[in-house]
Amino acid sequence: MKPQFAIFLMLVFPTILLAQQFPSPASNQINNQMMLEQQWAIQQRDNTSTLQRSLIVLGQKLENEENKQNQLEYDISALNHELSETKDIIENSSNSNSDLENKLEKINKSIDKKTKRLEDSNQIIEEIKSKMRGIVDKLKIEVTN
């Protein structure tokens, strides 16, 4: 036997034996594992996108509600100014005027309604902020995973 052939057998023979002792997984197992990992990655990306879209929508709702709140505060301020002017007119007039009294009642009712709406708006804003904090927390968890 030639020495080169002997060296070749010594190098190849152990490789063949080791290959039989440690079989590699079947190609379909590898493909299945890769598909599962791809599906998981796609699902995570979709979940993150959905949460980000929800966060954007809630941000828009928050902005709209804050604009409503600012408008209500402005309206209440204007009504309070009108109320004080009407009270001044009543105090300065010598006789009682039922029209002015009715106007005072209307102004007070309007202030009460707008104040109630302002309180409701504050509650809605707090709910939106709470939802946004929950989504941000979920996004933080997904980023760390």
Predicted confidence (pLDDT) per residue in 63-77, tens digit: 999 999 999 999 999
Q: Do the domain assignments include residue 71?
A: yes
One-letter amino acid identity for 11?
A: L
Q: Do the domain assignments include residue 18?
A: no
Q: Do the domain assignments include residue 69?
A: yes
Give burial (CB, 10 Å; 0-12/13-18/19+) of 121: buried
Q: Do the domain assignments include residue 61?
A: yes
Q: According to the model, what pLDDT value does residue 122 have?
A: 95
Q: Do the domain assignments include residue 96?
A: yes
End-to-end CA distance of the chain, in Å? 60
Q: According to the model, what pLDDT value does residue 145 have?
A: 60
Q: Do the domain assignments include residue 30?
A: no
Dihedral over Cα of 24, 26, 27, 28: its sign: negative
Domain tally, the chain = 1
Residues 111 and 79 sit within 8 Å (Cβ to Cβ): yes
Residues 124 and 65 sit within 8 Å (Cβ to Cβ): yes
Q: Between 85 and 30, where is the model more confident?
A: 85
Q: Between 58 and 19, where is the model more confident?
A: 58
Pair of tokens at residue 5:
């052939």
Q: Between 36 and 94, where is the model more confident?
A: 36
CA pair distance 9, 43, nearest whole angstrom:
50
Q: According to the model, what pLDDT value does residue 100 have?
A: 79
Q: According to the model, what pLDDT value does residue 131 have?
A: 93
Q: Do the domain assignments include residue 9?
A: no
pLDDT classification of 13: cutoffs 50, 70, 90: low
Q: Do the domain assignments include residue 135?
A: yes
Residues 87 and 108 sit within 8 Å (Cβ to Cβ): no
List the domain range (segments joined by +) for residue 101: 53-145
CA pair distance 95, 101, nearest whole angstrom:
12
Q: How many CB atoms lie within 10 A of CB 128?
A: 20
Indicate whether 24 pLDDT > 70: no
Indicate whether 135 pLDDT > 80: yes
At 33-69, the pLDDT tens digits run: 889 999 999 998 898 899 999 999 999 999 999 999 9
CA pair distance 43, 38, nearest whole angstrom:
9
The structure's pTM equals: 0.67
